[in-house]
Homo-oligomer: A and B are copies of this chain.
Amino acid sequence: MSQPLTESILATDFYQITMAQVYYRLGIHERPALFDHFFRRYPEYGGHQAGYCINAGLEPFVEWMRSVRFEPEHIELLRHMEGRTGRRLFQEDFLRWLERHGSFDALTLWAIPEGRVVHPMVPLTTVQGPLAVAQILETPLLNQLNYATLVATKAARVRYSANSSLVLEFGLRRAQDRGGHAGARAALIGGADFTSNVAASFAQGLPPKGTHAHSLVQVAMALGLGELGAFEAYAESYPDDTILLVDTIDTLESGIPNAIKVFEKLRARGHKPVGIRLDSGDLAYLSIQAARMLDAAGFEETIIVLSSELDELVIWQILTQIRQEAPRYGVDPDRLIKRLTFGVGTRLITSWGHPALGGVYKLVAIQEGEEWVPAIKISESPIKTPNPGKKKVWRLYDARGKATADVLGLEHEELAHEEQIILRHPFEPTKWRLLNRREVEIEPLQHVVLDQGRLVYDFPPLEEVRQQCRRDVERLDPGVLRLVNPHIYHVSLTPALWNLKKALIQEARGRPGTGDGR
């Protein structure tokens, strides 16, 4: 095989391929179709809902799209598939077509760039092209983009909570197998400064980061060298990069005193010790005591790395407690907070509390002759009815320069030409808002990435994506940034799109042959 199956175009759901054959049989497999990828709700981490998401995953996804196609060995696997009566499931004519045209080379793809703040119901990605292959793309697109956006979002929340402290991504051991690498990359986009994942770091051209594990101390203890021996050995190997994990035996009674002994030797030899790591216990209390002890020994510059089941709320709580309690021990809380680094593992890489973004990929239009016919799906709650047709997406900024709404409109609309911008709620008919054109800045959000398979977009380097993310977060209202009970950011429709949606719903409900005509 040219690539492992799990990296191939077969990394999709089976029904995509069975549907492709139905489209082939109907003669509409090459009919241009339009699919929107969007999510309906922000993640809710056990009750505290996010106020925004960070878009991520696009570059590796597009790279994957361009690297796969139905290879002869895939066709052979499908050729041997049988239905319940032993009859072949896939006919030869369809398989021949699939072998010839089964790639994503004919697709056009628009997307909101990585690192951008994004909101529900807004098309993050729009795919246009032959129905059958656009359909097959659904599963890998959702698989790769849902997760990256989920983790970038969680990382942005951790970054918000950690403020200017360094954040390290530590989660590979608790990730979903190979998913941990995409997770590390997404964490770097959303707010982690570095990751301990060596492969993911090198892939992004960043140095991996880390300290050492308890096992180093355990080995030294078992061999009679003691914790001090372990620390000395580490400092010997990394005299200018010494961070010591101090909680293997007893943090305050053994770990920190031993670390200070080693730091003193390093100092005597002209090296600058970097810091310590605390990985268990009451991290707020222990970091205050650690700071006190390190300060007393003249190591005011050393950092304190905290880890152990951290997330944005735990970090928030630790910082709050430090602000309250540090003065009692003669420790300046602001100085202490400045020397903290957060190692965030399980809860970042798994988006603990909300481990999947419910992103979907919905048909919104299909071409009939020269015209795009908008598509609708109505059977559920209003929030589950996608916005039909070929659309544009704009972000509006208010006079303060803060983002105030994302607006979806129809392809031919130009928001900039209006005097007054009318923003309609996506499904509640009584809710709308008026904005004066001259008081808002308008930014189109989607860019064309693939033009019939040809890459026409320059993926910015990771560092630019991260800066974009920071800029976007800064342009959010503080109420939207809140970790708990954030303001709800407005995602609105233009009146034209609103009217189209309403008309299609009514038509579908009343269309003959689809039910009882109600």
Q: A140-156, CB under 8 A of B: which get 1 and which 0?
A: 00111011100000000
Residue contact B240 to A84, C-beta cutoff 8 Å: yes
The interface residues of chain B lying within 8 Å CB-to-CB of A21 are 237
- Kindly provide the distance from the CB of A248 to the nearest chain B CB, expressed in whole angstroms: 6
Evaluate whether A228 and B172 lie within 8 angstroms (CB atoms) in the complex, with A12-B198, A197-B13 already known.
no
Contact B180 A13 (CB under 8 A): no
Residue numbers in B under 8 Å from A18 (CB-CB) = 210, 212, 237-238
Could you tell me which residues of chain A, from 330 to 367, have a CB within 8 Å of some CB in chain B? 346, 349-352, 355-359, 362-363, 365-366
Is A25 among interface residues, defined by CB-CB distance under 8 A? yes
Most B C-beta atoms less than 10 A away, residue of A172, A177, A248, A352: A177
Interface string of A119-135 (1 = CB under 8 A from B): 00000000000010001
A377 CA to B230 CA, complexed, in Å = 14
In Å, the complex CA distance between A234 and B72 comes to 25
Asked if B513 and A226 make an inter-chain contact with CB atoms under 8 angstroms apart, the answer reads yes
Cβ 8 A contact of A219, one of B131, B201, B281: B131
Q: Is the beta-carbon distance between B199 and A249 smaller than 8 angstroms?
A: no
Measured between alpha carbons, how far is A192 from B336 in the docked complex, in Å? 51
In this assembly, does A223 line the interface, its C-beta being within 8 Å of a C-beta of chain B?
yes
- Whether A6 is near chain B, meaning CB under 8 Å from some CB there, is yes
Segment of A251-259, A464-472, A477-485 in the binding face: A251-259
Closest 5 interchain pairs by CB?
A: A176-B179, A179-B179, A254-B515, A15-B210, A176-B176
Footprint of B on A, CB under 8 Å? 5-8, 10-19, 21-23, 25-26, 28, 33, 35, 57, 77, 81-85, 87, 89, 131, 135, 138-139, 142-144, 146-148, 170, 172-183, 196-203, 207-219, 221-223, 225-229, 233-234, 236-238, 240-241, 247-251, 253-255, 257-258, 272, 274, 280-281, 346, 349-352, 355-359, 362-363, 365-366, 368, 373-380, 384, 508-509, 511-516, 518
User: Apart from A81-B207, A135-B213, A218-B362, what 9 extra A-B contacts exist at CB < 8 Å?
Assistant: A11-B172, A12-B198, A13-B170, A25-B237, A139-B173, A143-B172, A223-B366, A228-B514, A247-B379
